[in-house]
Amino acid sequence: MGADSTALVVEWAHLETIPVLERESVLLEAADPDADDGTVEDGWVWLPPAAEGFPSWCARYEFGGTLGSFKPHFWAGERWEAVREHAPADVRAALDTFLAGLFWDPGTGSDPDEGEGDAEPWHGALWGYCLPSGVPALARAWSVAGPRLEELRAPFAVHAADPGKWVGRFEEFTRLLHGWAEVVEEAHRRGWGLVGLPY
């Protein structure tokens, strides 16, 4: 069975008001796809407000074409590894920064279908997180790399393309990156943090 992946943007100040031992269950509830009507195939699903008159403090991002699986994210990282040495130095540095902050290691070895992994660091629920203070660096990295992704098309075709496989086409690779950019930009705009859950 493959691992799933859920990306959340979270208002950290609100999260810190929740008792530490309750945060995992609250985040899991926010990420639970059974809580909505299933009509969102990609884009944002906003958590209902905690109380009347209060805005939502958390949202889940659905990556189109991934079916909630971690595998496309894993393979996007693998495709980048195959291309990175052939990318312009400034684009390589920017994408290294951007991806290092997002494609968190679930501890499943070389393939996301092998083993359950040891989920850390927050009571077993998280694959990773980025504090609000770390989000601006990701946004800056994307501002450099995003407009220049087309420069990676030719090296991707030579070194990473594998049509019919996960993220085997350049368009699939860039679509996933643009999804992550949307997540980062939303968190940056709001001054929020990011959370990755294996659900």
198 pLDDT above the threshold of 50: yes
Give me the pLDDT at residue 172, please: 94
> pLDDT tens digit string along 44-54?
888 766 555 55
Give me the pLDDT at residue 103, please: 59
Mean pLDDT across the stretch 45-69? 75
Give me the pLDDT at residue 102, please: 67
Give me the pLDDT at residue 111, please: 38
Give me the pLDDT at residue 56, please: 84
Mean pLDDT across the stretch 131-156? 96
Give me the pLDDT at residue 157, please: 97
Long-range contacts from 33-39, C-beta under 8 angstroms, 24+ separation? 33/60, 33/68
Ranges of each domain in the chain: 6-197
CB-based contacts of 176, cutoff 8 Å, min separation 6: 63, 66, 72, 73, 76, 167
More confident residue, 143 or 36: 143
More confident residue, 106 or 23: 23
What amino acid occupies position 176?
L
Give me the pLDDT at residue 142, please: 96
> pLDDT tens digit string along 109-131?
333 333 333 333 333 445 678 89
- The residue written with tokens 């920064």 in the block is 97
Give me the pLDDT at residue 107, please: 43
Mean pLDDT across the stretch 142-153? 97
> pLDDT tens digit string along 151-196?
999 999 999 999 989 999 999 999 999 999 999 999 999 999 999 8
Q: Specify which residues 129 forms β-bridges with.
A: 195
How many Cα atoms occupy the beta-carbon half-sphere of 149 within 13 Å?
A: 18
Cα 10 to Cα 16, 19, 124, 180, 190: the distances in Å are 10, 15, 18, 15, 9
For 171, other C-beta atoms within 10 Å of its C-beta total 10
More confident residue, 198 or 126: 198
For 145, other C-beta atoms within 10 Å of its C-beta total 25
Instruction: Measure the CA–CA gap between 173 and 176, rounded to whole angstroms.
Output: 5
Provide the Cα torsion 184, 193, 191, 101; round to 10°.
-40
